Amino acid sequence: MPTLQQTLAETTRPLHQRIEENPFMRALKDGDPLESPYKWLLSKLYPFVQGAEDKLVTLIPETEGFDTLKRCRTDLLHDDLLRLGIAPESGDPLLFDTIDTAGKAIGLLYVLEGSRKGGAFLSSLLQKSGTQLPMRYLIGYGETTESEWERFCGLLERYSEEPMRNEIISGAIGGFEILKRTFHDTHG
C-alpha cells in the first residue's frame, strides 16, 4: 500500500500541474522579466494563504504535533507584498467552507507545505538570477525546508488509516481546487 504522501502526490498531480500554468512560471521558463509576474503570483497567493492558515489554526489542535502556528507565514507574504508596493487583499473566507474537519485541514496543510517546498526551489532560482525581489515568503524554512517537509510527511503517516486518510485526501484536493480557482480566475 502506498504511503499517504505518495497517494496525495499521485491524486493531486493534475491539479498541481494546472496550478503551475501561470504567468510567473511562464516568465521564469521563458526568461522574461519577472517583476510583474512575481507581483501577480504573490498577490494571488496572499488571500489563499491567509484563508488557509485561518482554517488550519482553527481546525488542527496544536496537540497533534503539526506546529500549526509555526507553519503560518501570511505575515512574510504580507511583508513581501508591501515591499513590492502592493497592499495585500484578503480573500473570501467562504472559499474554505468545505475544509470543515481536522482531517481536511491536514490535507490543506499538505498543499501549503508542498508550496513551501516549491517556494524554496523558486527562491534559489531567483537568487541565482540576481533578482532583488523580496522573497521572505518563498524562502520557507531556508536550509531546513527539506527536513521540515520530511517531518511533516512523517506526521501525515500517523493519520494514514481510514476514515482520516480519506478526509486528508479530500482536504488536499479541495485545497488545490481553491488555489487553482484563485490562480485562474483572471487568466486562461
| Domains, the chain, with CATH or none | 4-184 (1.20.910.10)
Percentage above 70 pLDDT, the chain: 98
Tell the residue number behind the cell numbers 498543499, with chain if given: 111
C-alpha cell at 179: 488555489
Distance CA 172, CA 152 (A): 14
Closest CA to 110 of 182, 35, 37, 160: 160
Residue 186's pLDDT is 52
Nearest CA-CA partner of 42 in 152, 129, 123: 123
The residue among 99, 55, 174 whose CA lies nearest residue 182 is 174
Q: Which grid cell is 2?
A: 502506498
Q: How far apart are CA 155 and CA 3, in angstroms?
A: 12
Q: Which residue has the higher pLDDT, 96 or 31?
A: 96
Supply the pTM of this predicted model.
0.93
The pLDDT-based confidence of 1 (bands split at 50, 70, 90) is confident
The pLDDT assigned to 187 comes to 42
Residue 160 has a pLDDT of 87
Q: How far is CA 7 from the centre of its chain?
A: 18
What is the end-to-end Cα distance of the chain in Å, rounded?
37
Identify the DSSP state of 163.
T
Q: Are 11 and 169 in contact (CB under 8 A)?
A: yes
